[in-house]
Amino acid sequence: MNLVIVTTCPSGVANTVIAAGLLEQAVDAKGWTAQIECQSSVQSTKVLSAAEIEHADRVLLVGDPKETARFNGKPVYQASLDEVMVDAQAVLTEVSNQAQPYEASVSSESGDKQPVRIVGITACPTGVAHTFMAAEAIEEAAKAKGYQVKIETRGSVGAKNNLTDQDIEQADLVFIAADIEVDLSRFAGKRLYKTSTGSALKKAAQSLDDALANAHVHQAGQTNTANSTANQAERSGVYKHLMTGVSHMLPLVVAGGLAIALSFVFGIEAFKEEGTLAAALMEIGGGSAFALMVPVLAGFIAFSIADRPGLAPGLIGGMLAASTGAGFLGGILAGFIAGYSAKFVADKVSLPASMEALKPILVIPLLASLFTGLVMIYVVGGPVSVAMESLTTFLQSMNSTNAVILGVLLGA
């Protein structure tokens, strides 16, 4: 007999993996074949393909899996995690004898459909205009179609209209309109669609139709799972990662610059006198906010590439760029080195299921940090530092002798 099996548990950590292992052993003991989709938050999930479902003789659902409409018409048996833990062989016997044709309850028998429920996030690099305009356009288009919608905006003032766990649980679709990387881990197991804020703003109704038609189930641990559209291609890859870093760095630039400007109110050199308010303002702006700019830039470039496991290596690489004099150029390189090295470790390093939970909090940050740090110290730091010094000297020399050319460069 050929089975497809889906296991899940509330935390997505231990029980779903254990249940999948027990069922795999039981299937082998019976001489059957099975394709198993273990919905887990600590390891990549192999999603069942339409062909695998089509060719299966029976379907076994363990726990409370999402997206069960794909099994409509197939003989399905639903079991609890406790049943599998007690006797997986007995569960397989029940699958053989008790499976019934399945129909997902997407509407009542009277034909009254529940309205489509959509939750989403909008975010742009600056977090000022497009974030809120895109959210408003999506909300208006969704309401015009009779959908229920709630959009969380990730603007420069922080997240507003926050999505709750209940909002996400009840949603039929997650709609992400973002030009920077956002954390999608809480949407694991939900149908998710990604596009740009520009597309959502200009073609809100069409974007919603595309989302309902082309959304895919988001699995825990996936990164950069944007759906392929022309508009997204403009905002993907290197540009998107760079703008994610820049958008998180901007508040530090603004706050630090204004603090430094306030210190100059008391005199251009007033900050040199220790213990004064001017010195304190300079310490806040130049000593603290500006010191964090490069690490934050590098950290969130890496975050955009590799999700949360890339954040620590990126911050460390950015700090090394700042301390070696490599500046912003070094910070950008550090962010990409950290992000792609963290992603490489996440994709290529396999651990036993019992140790998989350590991967995002220990293995990836450690290995990626060591690699990034050594590259920054021994390879990148020196040459980039020299390049930065040369650029600085060049621009300073233009200040007095080639003011017109300097003005053209600044204008460009």
Q: How confident is the model at residue 107 (pLDDT cuts 50, 70, 90)?
A: very low
Mean confidence (pLDDT) of the chain: 85
What's the pLDDT score for residue 234? 41
Same domain, 291 and 378: yes
Across-strand partners of 101?
A: 75
Same domain, 290 and 405: yes
Same domain, 304 and 209: no
- How many domains in the chain? 3
316: pLDDT strictly greater than 90: yes
What's the pLDDT score for residue 224? 45
Contact 307/223 with Cβ under 8 angstroms? yes
Distance CA 65, CA 68 (A): 7
Same domain, 386 and 251: yes
Same domain, 126 and 63: no
Q: How confident is the model at residue 260 (pLDDT cuts 50, 70, 90)?
A: very high
Residue closest to 134 by CA, chosen among 192, 126, 246: 126
Please check whether residue 109 lies inside any domain of the structure: no
253: pLDDT strictly greater than 50: yes
Q: How confident is the model at residue 106 (pLDDT cuts 50, 70, 90)?
A: very low
Active site residue 38: no
Active site residue 9: yes
What's the pLDDT score for residue 320? 95
Specify the amino acid at residue 54.
E
Contact 127/247 with Cβ under 8 angstroms? yes
Same domain, 252 and 385: yes
Mean pLDDT confidence for 93-121: 73
Which residue range is the domain that position 199 belongs to?
117-234
Mean pLDDT confidence for 162-183: 89
Which tokens belong to 57? 């003789």
Same domain, 60 and 193: no
Over the stretch 34-83, which tens digit does the pLDDT of each residue have? Answer: 999 888 766 667 788 888 888 899 999 998 887 787 888 889 999 888 88
Contact 334/376 with Cβ under 8 angstroms? yes
Q: How confident is the model at residue 263 (pLDDT cuts 50, 70, 90)?
A: very high
Q: Which residue is associated with the tokens 């109110």? A: 265
Please check whether residue 111 lies inside any domain of the structure: no
Please check whether residue 106 lies inside any domain of the structure: no
DSSP 269: T
CATH number at residue 201: 3.40.50.2300
What's the pLDDT score for residue 113? 54
Domain final residue pick, 234, 256, 272: 234
Over the stretch 379-400, which tens digit does the pLDDT of each residue have? Answer: 888 888 888 888 888 777 776 6
Over the stretch 190-233, which tens digit does the pLDDT of each residue have? Answer: 899 999 898 898 899 899 988 988 888 887 655 544 443 434 44
Give 169's contacts (C-beta < 8 A, 6+ positions apart). none
Distance CA 182, CA 307 (A): 8
Please check whether residue 108 lies inside any domain of the structure: no
State CA 402 to chain mean position distance: 46
What's the pLDDT score for residue 41? 65
Which one of 4, 5, 6, 9 is the catalytic residue? 9
Please check whether residue 136 lies inside any domain of the structure: yes
Same domain, 35 and 167: no
Same domain, 145 and 15: no
Please check whether residue 70 lies inside any domain of the structure: yes
Residue 281: Cβ within 10 Å count: 22
What's the pLDDT score for residue 222? 56
Same domain, 354 and 306: yes
235: pLDDT strictly greater than 60: no
Give 323's contacts (C-beta < 8 A, 6+ positions apart). none
Please check whether residue 218 lies inside any domain of the structure: yes
161 three-state secondary structure: coil
Domain final residue pick, 234, 249, 270: 234
Distance CA 243, CA 255 (A): 19
Distance CA 218, CA 191 (A): 6
Same domain, 245 and 384: yes
Which one of 5, 59, 124, 375 is the catalytic residue? 124
Domain final residue pick, 185, 208, 234: 234
Distance CA 314, CA 298 (A): 5
Q: How confident is the model at residue 259 (pLDDT cuts 50, 70, 90)?
A: very high
Please check whether residue 213 lies inside any domain of the structure: yes
Same domain, 154 and 228: yes
